[in-house]
Amino acid sequence: MSFPARPGGGPSFPSSSVHPLAGRTILQIIPELEAGGAERTAVDVAEGLAHAGARALVATEGGRLVGELQAKGGVWVPFPAATKNPFSMLVNVRRLAKICYRERVALIHARSRAPAWVALGAARSLNLPFVTTYHGSYAGRSSVKVLYNSVMSRGDLVIANSHYTAELIRSLYPQATDRVRVIHRGTDFSVFTPGAVSPERVENLRRSWKVAPHERVVLLAARLTGWKGQKVLVEAAAKLRDAGVRDVAYILAGDPQGRDSYVKELDQLIDARKLNGVVRRVGHCTDMPAAFLTASVVTVPSTEPEAFGRSAVEAQAMGTPVVVSDLGAVPETVLAPPAVPPQERTGWRIPAGDADALAEAVGGALALGASARNALGMRARRHVEQHFSLERMVSSTLEVYSALLDGSFPRRTS
């Protein structure tokens, strides 16, 4: 594919008071803008670009976050980015290249594998810098899958959302080692702070979840899929009930996303353990700050490695005790013995898939006195503010763009 000489990427601003990306056009590509860490990050970075004076395009099929993207200064470019059909992807390469040429795009940033192949083709045809972000581990079990996943390692600069993810990239694609940069997922601490959530928002959630005034909430907020650990929590709930722990509602907040067979298995397990009305599926929650503040304990009992662990960070920001599986990127987000002294604990880490350990940790968190719970919450808040702020994530991402565009970071030669 060939195109005529491309117009310049925007005017130059010599003044140090002007952001290096001002006047530039950056395009992010992602399948859809529904709920999820990758989608939320795309919107947050678009907002940061807009504040820097850049044009922030997001090529995507659409989704519930499109309105927020536009309200924050981003530009939605309707594009069939979710397709995995090889022929459609080939057609999309030329389609995306035309958009980039017409809009004078200076850099393309891909946040998912299928659109990354399209973006790579378009970027190479126009000689544009190409950035990728690993929002997941993308572990391949076959040579074909490893090859398919490899597109995420082919960026001129590859962003990993945790040190765990970065090490995984380096082990699978050692040729990308020097191009990997860790930028943790950022949280907006002006939104995820207890003082920003009114009592009415908490009461509305408790009412919609049918939580009685005397009941405490143990929350698992994740899409309904086996590896997120809903079944482990159900088993732990049964053990806690048998141990005499009462007046607790176990809330499973998340969409099934078409996994009807898993939902059926989950409901059957709840019924078999005689936990109907105790463990409740409540669907997608749109007010996560209120959800985490409503909870007495937040659980992330994943049975496979989390590439980051956004829920654990957001819950800690709200001062809510967290219990998480000790694998993947979790050690980067939750501090717990024996890695730190007990007085530095910000949550509990347990072996993955261990319902006994989950029940013990949740029971311990529920049993905290007011002073101990408050001290834990303050430590947790300080910890996540220091390492996982939205400002830090956005500024680091914009620095990556600037380094590629001004030549201070060399681009790939092959």
* Residues 6 or more apart in contact with residue 7 via CB below 8 angstroms: 104
pLDDT band, residue 1 (cuts 50/70/90): very low
Give the pLDDT of residue 4. 42
Confidence of residue 410 (pLDDT cuts 50, 70, 90): confident
pLDDT value of residue 81: 96
* Ramachandran assignment for 215, one of left (phi > 0), alpha (psi -120 to 50 degrees), beta (any other): beta
Indicate the average pLDDT of the chain: 93
List, in order of start, the domains of the chain with CATH numbers.
25-186+390-405 (3.40.50.2000), 194-387 (3.40.50.2000)
If we measure between CA atoms, which residue out of 179, 49, 27, 54 comes closest to residue 108?
Answer: 27
Q: What is the dihedral of CA 387, 30, 34, 395, to 10 degrees?
A: 30
Task: Please tell me the distance from the alpha carbon of residue 410 to that of residue 156, in angstroms, as a whole number.
Answer: 8
pLDDT of residue 140: 67
What's the CA gap between 103 and 106, in Å, rounded? 9
Residue that wins the pLDDT comparison between 5 and 324: 324
Q: Which one, of 253, 248, 242, lies nearest residue 277 by Cα?
A: 248
222 near 190, Cβ under 8 Å? Answer: no
Q: In this predicted structure, what is the pLDDT of residue 16?
A: 46
CA distance 44 to 50: 10
The model's pLDDT over 298-345, given as tens digits with 9 standing for 90+, comes to 999 999 998 888 899 999 999 999 999 999 998 889 999 999 999 999
pLDDT of residue 9: 39
Q: Name which of 128-137, 211-220, 267-276, 392-401 the model is least confident about.
A: 128-137
Residue 103 region by backbone torsions, left for phi larger than 0, else alpha for psi between -120 and 50, else beta: alpha
Positions of E strands within 118-256: 130-134, 157-160, 180-182, 216-221, 248-253
- Per-residue pLDDT at 8 exceeds 60: no
pLDDT value, residue 41: 94
Q: What is the pLDDT of residues 33-70, one digit of tens each?
A: 987 789 999 999 999 999 999 999 999 999 999 999 99
* Local confidence band at 413 (pLDDT 50, 70, 90 cut-offs): low
Dump pLDDT digits (tens) for 371-400: 999 999 999 999 999 999 999 999 999 999
Q: Give the span between the Cα atoms of 231 and 228, in whole angstroms.
A: 9
Give the separation between CA 139 and CA 145, rounded to whole angstroms. Answer: 8
**pTM of the full predicted structure?**
0.82
With tokens 């919609």, the residue in question is 208
Closest CA to 84 of 103, 61, 65: 61
Per-residue model confidence (pLDDT) at position 287: 96
Tell me the two tokens of residue 100. 């980039």
Contact 166, 160 (CB under 8 A): yes
pLDDT at 263: 95
pLDDT at residue number 186: 93
Share of the chain above pLDDT 70, in %: 95
Q: Is the pLDDT of residue 12 over 60?
A: no
What pLDDT, on a 0 to 100 scale, did the predictor assign at position 309? 84
Q: Give the pLDDT band of residue 409 (cuts 50, 70, 90).
A: confident
113-131 per-position pLDDT tens digit: 999 999 999 999 999 999 9
Mean pLDDT lowest among 88-92, 327-331, 360-364:
327-331
- SS3 category, 225: coil
Q: Phi first, then psi: give them for residue 18, nearest 5 degrees.
A: -100, 135
